[in-house]
Amino acid sequence: MRQPRSASDSPVAINKYLLPREIQVATVRQHPAMLIPASAQTLVGLLIAGILSATVLHGIAGLVLWLLWLLLLLRLVWKILNWSVDYFVVTTERLLLTRGFLTRQINMMPLTKVTDMSFKRSFAGRLLGYGEFIVESAGQDQSLRNVEFIP
């Protein structure tokens, strides 16, 4: 987990959402393992497009197949862009989850509302070094309830 020493060490995208009296305790980006499914789908799509265009599909059908693979690649690039700007932040007063490249969404929960916290790791999470952070609050269903892929 990355622990900023001062406001100048933390990402600019986070600093503008902090209150003047708040101090960052921890700032972490989601684990890159969250990109594995989209990467695997793009790779499998590349293999399928390569094999089919070399053997069966030619002309327009082959072009359509490569355009479909290009859509998979663009989807992967979009997920990487979003991952690069998403942060989970713990401050002295609240929890923040920032998401989104073009449309920014900031989910917040005051620490005074937190009644219970836990960290759950699956087998894959233990192997790769990530887990799921679970936050319980006083009788409310929050958007910060489950934060996945936390290193």
**Domain ranges (residues) in the chain:** 12-30+86-150, 36-80
Model confidence at 141, in pLDDT bands (50, 70, 90)?
Answer: low
HEC string for the chain: CECCCCCCCCCHHHHCCCCCCCCEEEEECCCHHHHHHHHHHHHHHHHHHHHHHHHCCCCHHHHHHHHHHHHHHHHHHHHHHHHHHCEEEEECCEEEEEECCCCCEEEEEEHHHEEEEEEECCHHHHHHCCEEEEEEECCCCCCCCEEEEEC
pLDDT (mean) for 36-63:
92
pLDDT of residue 20: 87
The pLDDT, as a whole number, for residue 5 is 46
The answer to whether residue 129 scores a pLDDT higher than 60 is yes
Percent of the chain with pLDDT over 90: 56
In the structure, what pLDDT confidence band is assigned to residue 38 with cuts at 50, 70 and 90?
very high
Each residue's pLDDT tens digit, 83-100: 999 999 999 999 999 998
